[in-house]
Amino acid sequence: MYAGVMGDLVDSFGRVHRDLRISVTDRCNLRCTYCMPAEGMDWLPRSQVLTFEEIHRVVRVLVERFGIRSVRLTGGEPTVRANLDELVTALAGIRAAGAPLDLAMTTNGTTLASCAARLASAGLGRINISLDSLRRERFAELTRRDDLADVLDGIAAALDAGFDPVKLNVVVMRGVNSDELVDFARFGRERGVSVRFIEFMPLDADEQWSPSAVVGQDEIVATISKEFPLEAVVRGSEPAQRFRYSDGAGEVGVIPSVTRPFCGSCDRVRLTSEGALRNCLFASEEVDLRAIMRGGGSDDDIERAVLAEVRRKGPGHAIGSTTFVRPRRSMSQIGG
Ligand code: SAM
Ligand code: SF4
pLDDT of residue 137: 98
pLDDT of residue 22: 97
Rounded to two decimals, the pTM is 0.94
Residues with CB under 6 A from ligand 1: 28, 34-35, 74-75, 77, 106-108, 130, 169, 171, 198, 200-201, 203-204, 331-332, 336
Helix (H, G, I), strand (E, B) or coil at 223: helix
Return per-residue pLDDT of the chain as tens, 336 residues: 444 455 899 999 999 999 999 999 999 999 999 888 888 888 999 999 999 999 999 999 999 999 999 999 999 999 999 999 999 999 999 988 888 899 999 999 999 999 999 999 999 999 999 999 999 999 999 999 999 999 999 999 999 999 989 999 999 999 999 999 999 999 999 999 999 999 998 877 778 888 999 999 999 999 999 999 999 998 776 789 999 999 999 999 999 989 988 888 899 999 999 999 999 988 888 999 999 999 999 999 999 999 999 999 988 876 666 666 666 666 777 767
Radius of gyration of the CA atoms of the chain, in A: 19
CB-ligand 2 contact for 131 (6 Å cutoff): no
Ligand nearest to the CA of 201: 1
| Residue whose C-alpha is closest to residue 217's, from 165, 184, 246, 260 | 260
CB-ligand 2 contact for 108 (6 Å cutoff): yes
Spacing, Cα 6 to ligand 1 middle (Å): 34
Ligand 1 pocket test: pick from 215, 258, 331, 334 the residue with the most ligand atoms within 8 Å of its Cβ: 331
| Residue whose C-alpha is closest to residue 336's, from 131, 130, 74, 105 | 74
pLDDT of residue 3: 46
Fold of 19-334: TIM Barrel (3.20.20)
Q: Let me know if 331 is exposed, middle or buried by CB neighbors in 10 A (0-12, 13-18, 19+).
A: buried
Helix (H, G, I), strand (E, B) or coil at 279: coil
Residues 76, 30: Cα–Cα separation, whole Å? 9
pLDDT of residue 260: 87
Orientation of helix 148-160 relative to helix 136-143, angle to 10°: 100
Q: Where are the domains of the chain?
A: 19-334
Q: Between the CA atoms of 59, 61, 66 and 71, what dihedral angle is there, to the nearest 10 degrees? A: 0
Sign of the CA dihedral with 224 first, then 229, 235, and 237 last: negative
Ligand 2 atom closest to residue 77's alpha carbon, by position in its atom list: 8
| Residue whose C-alpha is closest to residue 3's, from 315, 267, 261 | 267
